[in-house]
Amino acid sequence: MRHAFEIGGIETEVWLARDGDAYRLHGDAGEARVALNQRGAEAVLDLDGLTEKALVVLDGETIHVHVAGGNYTLRHLDPARRFADGDASGGADVARAPMPGTVVRIDVAAGQKVATGDPLVVIESMKLETTIRAWHDGIVADIHVAAGQSFDRDALLVTLAAEAA
C-alpha cells in the first residue's frame, strides 16, 4: 500500500518493497536501497550503501527525526483521511489561537452583537499581547475560553455567527 508523509510541508508519497535483507524505497522522494537499524531512539540509516546515524522517535502519527545535522518533524498522513476534506471546524466561523498562550481578558459575552474590528478576546503569548477582533459584523455565538486559561496552538477561541435577521 502507498503511504504519504508530510515532509517539510510537502506531501511525499512513499512505499517499500522487500529487497533481500533490506528494502527498496519508491515514490516521490526517489528510489534507493534502504535499511534502518534501530536500537531505541538511536538508528543507523543505510541508503544505497551510505550509512548515517539518526535519532528517531515515533509519537502517534508524528515521526521526529534528527539526521544530517537537523531536527525534523514528519507526519504520517492517514490513507483513509488523506483525500477527505479536512476542515475540522466544519466550516464554522471561528477564530483559532495563532500560537499557544494565555487568555488575558474576554471583552464580549455570548449572544452579544459585534461590529467588524470590535475587540473580542485579548490573548498573551510570552511577551506579546494580541487582540482578537471581530472579522465581520454579527453576534458572538460562543466563547471557547475563559480569562486566565492557557491554550495550545489552533485552539478554538471565539465563534461568530451572522446576525439573526
Partner 1 sequence: MSALPFDTLLIANRGEIALRIIRTAKRLGLRTVVVAHEADHGSPATAAADVVVPIHGKTGVAAYLDGAQIIEAARKTGAGAIHPGYGFLSENAGFARAVAEAGIRFVGPTPEAIDLMGDKVRARAFVAKNGFPVAPSAIEDDDPATFAARARALGAPLLVKPSAGGGGKGMRIVRDMALLDQEIAQARSEGERYFGDGRLYVERFVEQPRHIEVQVMGDAHGTVIHLGERECSVQRRFQKIVEETPSPALSADERRRICEAAAGIARAAGYRNAGTVEFIYGRGEFYFLEMNTRLQVEHPVTEEVTGVDLVEAQLRVAAGERLAFAQEDIRASGHSIELRVYAESAARGFTPTTGSVLALRLPSGEGVRVDVGIAEGQRVTTNFDPMLAKLIVHAPDRDEAIRRARRALAGFALLGCETNIGFLDRLIADSAFAAGVVHTGWLDANPALAADPEIAPDLRARLAAIAALATRAIRDGADAVPTLHAAMGGWRN
Q: Which stretch binds partner 1 (CB under 8 A): 5-13, 81-89, 111-119, 154-162?
A: 5-13
Q: Can you say how many angstroms the Cα of residue 114 is from the centroid of all Cα atoms in its chain?
A: 30
135 contacts partner 1 (rule: CB under 8 A): no
| Binding residue (CB under 8 A) for partner 1 from 11, 51, 55, 111 | 55
Cell of 52: 548515517
Distance between CA 117 and CA 136 in Å, rounded?
A: 8
Grid coordinates belonging to 107: 471583552
When asked if residue 11 is in the footprint of partner 1 (CB under 8 A), the reply is no
Residues 70-129 close enough to bind partner 1 by CB under 8 A: 70-74, 76, 98-102, 104, 125-129
133 part of the interface to partner 1, by CB under 8 A? no
d(CA 123, CA 151): 10
Query: Is residue 81 classed as helix, strand or coil in its secondary structure?
Result: coil
Q: How far is the CB of 120 from partner 1 (least distance, A)?
A: 17
Which is closer to partner 1, CB of 47 or CB of 139? 47
Return all residues near 24 (Cβ < 8 A) that are at least 6 apart: 16, 17, 18, 31, 32, 33, 34
Please report whether residue 21 would count as binding partner 1 according to CB under 8 A: yes
Provide the 8-state DSSP code for 28: T
E-assigned strand segments in 107-155: 113-114, 119-125, 128-133, 138-143, 150-151
How much helix, strand and coil, in percent to the nearest 5, is found in the chain? Answer: 0, 60, 40
Stretch that binds partner 1, among 45-53, 112-120, 132-140, 154-162 (CB under 8 A): 45-53
The least distance separating partner 1 from the CB of residue 165, rounded to whole angstroms, comes to 36
| Under rule CB under 8 A, residue 60 binds partner 1 | no
Binding site for partner 1 (CB under 8 A): 1, 3, 5, 7-10, 12, 14-21, 23, 25, 27-30, 32, 34-36, 38, 41, 43, 45, 47, 52, 54-59, 63-74, 76, 98-102, 104, 125-129, 150, 152-153
